[in-house]
Amino acid sequence: MGATVIEQVEKVGRQFRKRLASAGDAAALEALRIEFLGRSGGKIPELMSHLASLPKDEKPAFGKAVNQLKQAALGELAAAKEGLAAEADRTRPQVDVTLPGRRPHLGRLHPITRARNEMVEIFARLGFSVAEGPEIEDEWHNFIALNIPEEHPARDPLDNYYIRDDLLLRTQTSTVQIRVMESTPPPVRVIVPGRVYRPDTADAGHSNMFHQLEGLWVDDGVTFAHLKTVLDMFVHAFFGPATGTRFRPSFFPFTEPSAEVDVSCLLCGAKGCPACKRTGWMEILGCGMVDPNVLRAVGYDPEEVTGFAFGLAIERPAMLKYGINDIRLFYQNDMRFREQF
């Protein structure tokens, strides 16, 4: 008889656990609590009604068994409740999708990069390839091979960024063309874009770092006519076919003869305005026929080959083309400026 009532307790226990396993929310747990532990009519308290019919010596063991089941059921219900709460916490959305989004800043090309790419593309169509080289240079590549003598004012230590007795930040990218000629027999047809450095005080038109694009074409029979044609074609491709060009005699140690090239003022259509100082023209580059001393310095024979070279600051045509009135805007990374390109 005793064994059967204990079995009764175990059966209610099994029932409770089976139902508990399938209770999926707080309401189901509460219904389970009322069904099994409810003060009036709960299945576990109800078991106690058997107590009266048991022999005296079996009562304590039976009472203990019912009590243990009650305590266990209470504990398991509480644990299940906690488990549900933790599960809800874990699956609650971590992101508030109703908040306004953060708009990402899209990257874009810097106007200097844009202008350089356009120039490289134009010269590539004329058969020029791109060469690059170091920004820290020796005096041979920056001055001596370029026919700039020791006493020349361009070599004044105060007008250069020397980083050691014999090393400086390059002041033009001609250094790379010297390197190309030193390592390649003629013909060469290269352009060299890159940063150059001069200790200038910054203002609307000057920066102690700017970007140069130099070009060089050396071959048997290259003449000033090739120089004029290539630069005219460049100006027309970059600024538009209606742009006028003007070649004025000039002087550079590394070219002879030398010239400076003006383009008709893009702002006033060559009528004369404050931007072109009422001349109708704006200077954009320097050029000339490579000096025989430079050809000899790299081991070329000036009786065999001739060449022309030119150099420009990328900033300058970029400012003219895009209507930028202060060179410093290029280097400040102000997004209000950058986003206009």
Query: Which is nearer to ligand 2NL, 32 or 207 (by Cβ)?
Result: 207
- How near is the Cβ of 293 to ligand 2NL at its closest, in Å? 10
Q: How far apart are the first and last CA of the chain?
A: 95
Give the contacts of 204 (CB within 8 A, at least 6 positions apart). 325, 326, 327, 328
Query: Which is nearer to ligand 2NL, 175 or 264 (by Cβ)?
Result: 175
Report residue 270 as tokens.
Answer: 């060559």
Give the residues lining the site for ligand 2NL (CB under 6 A).
Answer: 174, 177-178, 214, 216, 252, 254-255, 286-288, 290, 294, 309-311
Query: Which is nearer to ligand 2NL, 123 or 310 (by Cβ)?
Result: 310
- How near is the Cβ of 258 to ligand 2NL at its closest, in Å? 6
- How near is the Cβ of 298 to ligand 2NL at its closest, in Å? 8
Query: Which is nearer to ligand 2NL, 13 or 307 (by Cβ)?
Result: 307
Query: Which is nearer to ligand 2NL, 178 or 230 (by Cβ)?
Result: 178
- How near is the Cβ of 337 to ligand 2NL at its closest, in Å? 27
Match 């020029």 to its residue by tokens. 128
- How near is the Cβ of 309 to ligand 2NL at its closest, in Å? 3
- How near is the Cβ of 289 to ligand 2NL at its closest, in Å? 8
- How near is the Cβ of 303 to ligand 2NL at its closest, in Å? 18
Query: Which is nearer to ligand 2NL, 174 or 207 (by Cβ)?
Result: 174
Query: Which is nearer to ligand 2NL, 32 or 213 (by Cβ)?
Result: 213
- Residue nearest ligand 2NL, Cβ-based: 311
